[in-house]
Structure 1
Amino acid sequence: MIIERVLNNNTVISSNGKGLDILLMGKGIAFGKKKGSKVEMEQVEKTFILQDKNNQNKFTELLINVPMEYVLVSEKIINFGKIKLGRALNEIIYINLTDHIYSTIERYQEGIRLKNPLLWDIARFYPDEYAVGEKALAIIKSELNVELEIDEAAFIALHFINASDSKTNDYAYEVTSITKKIDEIVKEHYNTEFDESSLDYYRFITHVKFFAQRLLAHEHYDDEDDDLLETLKHKYENEYVCSLKIKESILMDYQYELSATELVYLTAHIRRITKNLN
Structure 2
Amino acid sequence: MLKIVQILNNNAALVDLDNHRQAIAKGSGIAFQKERGSTISPKKIDKLFVLETETSRANLYFLLKNIPIDVVTTTYEIIDVAQQQYHLKVLDYIYITLSDHIFGAYKRYKNGTYENSMIPDFHVQYPTEYAIAKQALRIIAKDLGVTFPDSEAKNIALHFINATGETDSEQNFNQKTETTIDNLVQRVLKRHGIFRSTSNGNYYDRFMIHLQYLVNRLQQTDAKATAIVPQVTIELKQNYPRSHAIASEIFNEIKRNLYPNMSDDEQLYFIIHIQRLIKESPVDKKLK
Q: Same fold (TM over 0.5)?
A: yes
Is residue 151 from structure 1 mapped to residue 163 from structure 2 by the alignment? no
CA RMSD of aligned residues (A): 4.8
What amino acid maps onto 2:210 in structure 1? T
- Alignment TM-score, normalising by the size of structure 2: 0.56
Is residue 184 from structure 1 mapped to residue 183 from structure 2 by the alignment? yes
Where do residues 1-278 of structure 1 align in structure 2 (5 Å cutoff)?
1-35=2-36, 37-41=37-41, 43-63=44-64, 65-68=67-70, 70-71=71-72, 73-82=74-83, 85-120=86-121, 122-165=122-165, 180-185=179-184, 204-206=208-210, 209=214, 220=236, 222-223=239-240, 250=250, 253=253, 262=274, 265=277
How far off its partner does 1:109 sit? 0.7
How far off its partner does 1:92 sit? 4.2
Structure 2: state its 5+ residue gaps.
Answer: 168-174, 191-203, 219-225, 257-266, 280-288
- How has the CA–CA distance of structure 1 residues 260 and 61 changed in structure 2, closer, same or farther, with 3 Å as cutoff? closer
Partner SS, residue 165 of structure 2: coil
Q: Where does residue 171 of structure 2 map in the other structure?
A: none
Q: Could you tell me whether the CA contact under 8 Å between 1:23 and 1:47 is conserved in 2?
A: yes
- How has the CA–CA distance of structure 1 residues 103 and 264 changed in structure 2, closer, same or farther, with 3 Å as cutoff? closer
Query: In 2, Cα distance between the equivalents of 1:207 and 1:184?
Result: 11
How far off its partner does 1:57 sit? 1.8
What amino acid maps onto 2:8 in structure 1? L
What fraction of aligned residue pairs are identical, expressed as a percent? 25
Partner SS, residue 137 of structure 2: helix
Q: Could you tell me whether the CA contact under 8 Å between 2:119 and 2:272 is conserved in 1?
A: no
Query: In 2, Cα distance between the equivalents of 1:155 and 1:260?
Result: 10
Query: In 1, Cα distance between the equivalents of 2:51 and 2:88?
Result: 18
Q: Could you tell me whether the CA contact under 8 Å between 2:8 and 2:69 is conserved in 1?
A: no
How far off its partner does 1:133 sit? 1.9
- Alignment TM-score, normalising by the size of structure 1: 0.57
- How has the CA–CA distance of structure 1 residues 147 and 5 changed in structure 2, closer, same or farther, with 3 Å as cutoff? closer
- How has the CA–CA distance of structure 1 residues 83 and 180 changed in structure 2, closer, same or farther, with 3 Å as cutoff? same
How far off its partner does 1:17 sit? 2.6
Q: Could you tell me whether the CA contact under 8 Å between 1:225 and 1:264 is conserved in 2?
A: no
How far off its partner does 1:108 sit? 0.8
Partner SS, residue 104 of structure 2: helix
How far off its partner does 1:3 sit? 3.1
* Cα displacement string for residues 4-29 of structure 1 (whole angstroms, at most 9, x for unaligned residues): 33334433333223112333333444
Partner SS, residue 7 of structure 2: strand
The size of the alignment, in residue pairs, is 224
Partner SS, residue 153 of structure 1: helix
Q: Could you tell me whether the CA contact under 8 Å between 2:63 and 2:72 is conserved in 1?
A: no
1 or 2, which has the higher helix percentage? 1
How far off its partner does 1:248 sit? 11
Structure 1: state its 5+ residue gaps.
Answer: 168-175, 190-199, 227-245, 268-278
How far off its partner does 1:55 sit? 2.2
Q: Could you tell me whether the CA contact under 8 Å between 1:10 and 1:26 is conserved in 2?
A: yes
